[in-house]
Amino acid sequence: MASFECITRSGISKADLFDRSLSIDAHVGSMAKSREKAVRGVTTGLISLGEEVTWRAWHFGIPLHMTSRITEMVSPDYFVDEQVKGPFRRFRHIHEFLAEGEETVMIDRIEFAAPLGPVGRIAERLFLARYLRELIETRNRYLTRQ
């Protein structure tokens, strides 16, 4: 299993950034390059604890579907989304929000395991972790635009 962390600082309030992070519409906007779209479950607005969304996107030239559920949430401090069906053996994304003076610090912790056993572990190290980090950083730039 692989993991990484992204830290993003913003002048947006903690509560507003928390809500932006739960917004299906903001996620779709941030992932325009991969043509990501919510196709089942919560498909617009804010997703909440226990709710699911199924995404359709193109990555590496392949159409993929992934269903995620919000498994933990304490507003506006953190929430967790986890894959319940999709391309990974395991995918868990912890979203944490801290107020530091005039800034909000958004911390994304990603834990994932690729399929295909030893080949998947090699892919995690060679390119998947970097690719996923770039997706999260792109998303965060979008979310923190004022």
- Please give the model's pTM, rounded to 2 decimal places: 0.92
Banded pLDDT at 125 (limits 50, 70, 90): confident
Percentage of the chain beyond pLDDT 70 is 92
* Number of structural domains found in the chain: 1
**Summary mean pLDDT of the chain:** 92
Closest listed residue to residue 13, CA positions, set 73, 81, 76, 70: 76
CA distance 95 to 73: 9
Residues in a beta bridge with 70: 81
User: How far apart, in Å, are the Cα atoms of 132 and each of 10, 14, 57, 113?
Assistant: 21, 24, 13, 12
Q: pLDDT tens digits, residue range 13-69?
A: 999 999 999 999 999 999 988 899 999 999 999 999 999 999 999 887 889 999 999
Distance of CA 1 to the CA centre of its chain: 17
- Domain membership of residue 50 as a residue range: 2-143
| For residue 119, pLDDT beyond 60 | no
* CATH number of the CATH domain containing 75: 3.30.530.20
Q: pLDDT tens digits, residue range 63-106?
A: 999 999 999 999 999 999 999 999 899 999 999 999 999 999 99
| Amino acid of residue 74 | V
